Every structure is written in C-alpha cells, then in structure tokens.
Amino acid sequence: MVRAARGWPRWLYSLVLYLLAPFVWRRVWCEHALTNLRRERLGLIPRIATESPRLWLHCASVGEVQAARPLVEALLQRYPSHQLVVTTMTATGAERVHALMEARRQAGEPERLVHRFVPLDYPGAANRFVARLSPALAIFFETEIWPNLLAACRRRGVPTAVVNGRLSPRAFRGYRRLRPLMAEALGQVDWLAAKSRGDAERYRALGMPATQTDVVGSLKYDLTPDEASCADSKRLCTRLGSRPVWVAGSTHPGEEEALLQAHAALRQPYPNALLILVPRHPQRFEAVAELCRERGFSLARRSLGEWPGERTAVYLGDTMGELLTLYGAADLAFVGGSLVPVGGHNLLEPAAMGVPVLTGPELANFVDVAETLRHGGALVEVPSSAALADTLVTLFLDESERHRLAEAGLAVVAANRGALARTMDGLERLLPVK
C-alpha cells in the first residue's frame, strides 16, 4: 500500500495516457520512417543480433540529434565494445540518425550505431522496450523526462542520466503544475548534467536531488563542424560568387512572411541579394515554396538540384541535414524561431561556422547561450522584420563589422567548450570503462 501511495502520480499519469490513446496514436502515426516499423512505438523493437552490451541515448527530434553529435562520437570512442542505440520521437530525427549511420559506413567505421523509435510512455510499452534493449546505461537528452521509461529503467537496475539538461522558465511553469509527477520521475534519475545554474535550480525545484545534479555547461559549444560540411560550404560559397547572401535557418509559420518582407527591402539597394531559406519542418517545404512564389520571388529548390542564378531571389534549403553547410556559405545568418513565439533555435551553429549571428527577440529556449554570445559581442538582435531589413543593409555595407562578428562568434564557441568532457566524466561514474 505504501508503494502504491508513493506511485500515485505516475499511476494517474498513465491513466490519462490510456484515455488519450486514440489522439496520441493518431499523432505518432504521421511520424513514420520507412526504416522502422510502427510497432516500435509499443516497445516491440527488433532484437539486436549482436551480443555486445548497449548504450541508449534518447533525443526528441532533429535538433537534439544534431546537438548530440559530439556526444554520440564520444560515447562510441569511450566505450568501444558497446553498441549505441539512439532513439527519437520524430521521423525527421530518425532521418538524421540514419544520416549519421551512413556517414560512419562511408568512413569505414564499424556499424555500432543503431536507430529505434522511442516507445510511447505507457507502462507496458516502456517495460517491453527496456527489457528487449537491456541497456547498460540510459541517457536522456535535454528535457526528455518520461516517467514510465525512467521507472522501467530503475526496475531493471539500468543507471540513468539526463544530459545537456535544459528547462526554460516557460517549460518550468508548466511542469510545476505537475510537480508530484515530476518529483517522482526525477527521483529515478541517477545524475543530471545541467546546462546552466538556472536550469539546475529549476530542476531542483521540481524535485531533482541537489546531490545528483552538476552544472557542466552546454554540449552545443562542443559542436565542431565536420570536414565534409566545411568543404561543401566552401564549394557553395565559391559558386554563389560575390553577391550578398544571407541565410535564415529553422524558420516557422508566420516568420517566413516577415523574412521575405525584409529580403524585399534588402533587394532595393542590393538587387542581386540572395536569401537561403531553410524551414524547420520538412512537411512545410511545399507551403514555403508556394509562399515565395506568391510574394513574387524567383525561386530555386535545393532538393530538385536547381541552382540559384543571378536573378534568383530565394534558394530554398528543402533538404535534411545540410543546415550547417548552408550557414557556412552565407555572409550573415538569421536563426529562426525568434521572430515568432517559439523560443529560438541553436544560435551556436552559425557561430561555429564563422558566420555572424542575427536573431529576433524570442529566445526563451536559449537564454543562457544568447547571453554568452551577447557578452562576447557576437550577437545581433532585431525586434522586427523592418529592423532586420535595416540591419541587413547596414551589415552588408560594413565588411569589417561582419568580420568582427564572425571572429567574436568563433571566440565564444572556443572559450566555452568543455561540457562534453565533463559530461563524459559524469557518465563514466555511472558506467566505468572496463
């Protein structure tokens, strides 16, 4: 009776999930990849043929997979006898993991990286998944706190960690309403590696024990662009020539309209200016292409192999996994999700490519990163599309300022690296290298 009383928040949570099952299943039905069976959502994953021990890393979607790339490589290097199973919730995340697997195959690396979909967080599905996978260590990236999966790991004696732990003030306000459930879930976590002191404090306020929490910094600073991306950027930059080029990455509905408006204003003094537009979600590629045409912009699409000529106004980056390459080919980079109330996206990706970083005011998801870039003089913030247009014109007129911003961004990234080493040291306490 005492155990049941202690577990009532998770029991109630599971009951609500069962009641919402038709709606939950309808949502994930669309998140399908041809490489995976839908039954993986119920924990019915194929048994992995090899008897090698396994590590499990869970990332929600494509952004988290991209941010976790340094961790993926470090885990494979630190634990050479283990397979690494990366799970995602979304199909776009699955595609990104399979791209990493293919890159490793082409480089002649052993096939030790595997992708599976994470199961829906029902008790039965969670228990089946953990039983079949039988990981030696479970790692959850950023805010992926799933009560039944964590409980299943604890039941089977699997050590668990939350790494690059992020909890924005907005997310904290929502989770605080569920504090009994969150306290029970976080009580199953053996170690939490928080991005910042503020993130750690918010996790502790939800019930994460302070003795099992460390502030290690953001893994995003440990992003090192691979040689292939840098080489592709140089080739693309050479082909584009000396025309003004700016990129808007990870954009959202309502934001593209404002960006196209700013681009139209930029093309008044710079008629050959090119915008490389990269929507965040691939299911919106067609809609964004149609929007560009409706606004009267000549368009080239990367997915179709089309090349932006001198008269092309917009180059649509409608492919997956090439954002770093496209950032590196531009003179300026605007990071999306920041002119609309989304909370922003990874400001460090263009900075790591040596490209000046521009952003809108909505930065709730990257407050700490924005503050670090701001302190280093490496962030240009604009409140509106009109201000963005003026800023673009000003920066294209001032090459020395563009160079200063680029160098400042690279310096900030270099100065803040080290979270990866601290994270790996913490994980090794949970799973010592033999």
For the annotated catalytic residues, the residue numbers are: 64
Residues 311, 212: Cα–Cα separation, whole Å: 58
Residues 75, 78: Cα–Cα separation, whole Å: 5
- State whether the Cα torsion 50-52-57-58 is positive or negative: positive
> Token pair for residue 81?
């006898």
Residues 68, 107: Cα–Cα separation, whole Å: 19
Residues 135, 158: Cα–Cα separation, whole Å: 7
DSSP 215: E
3-state SS class at 241: coil
Residue 157 CA to its chain's centroid (Å): 29
> Token pair for residue 266?
């930029």
- Taking CA atoms, 40 is separated from 72, 124, 220, in Å, by 22, 12, 29
Q: Which of 242, 249, 303 is nearest to 276 (CA)?
A: 249
Are the beta carbons of 236 and 229 closer than 8 angstroms?
A: no
Residues 292, 273: Cα–Cα separation, whole Å: 15
- Taking CA atoms, 128 is separated from 3, 29, 118, 131, 190, in Å, by 22, 20, 11, 5, 21
3-state SS class at 334: strand
Are the beta carbons of 138 and 41 closer than 8 angstroms?
A: no
Residues 231, 237: Cα–Cα separation, whole Å: 10
- Taking CA atoms, 154 is separated from 96, 134, 141, 242, 377, in Å, by 29, 12, 18, 58, 45
Q: Which of 390, 394, 388 is nearest to 259 (CA)?
A: 388
N-terminal to C-terminal alpha carbon distance within the chain:
41
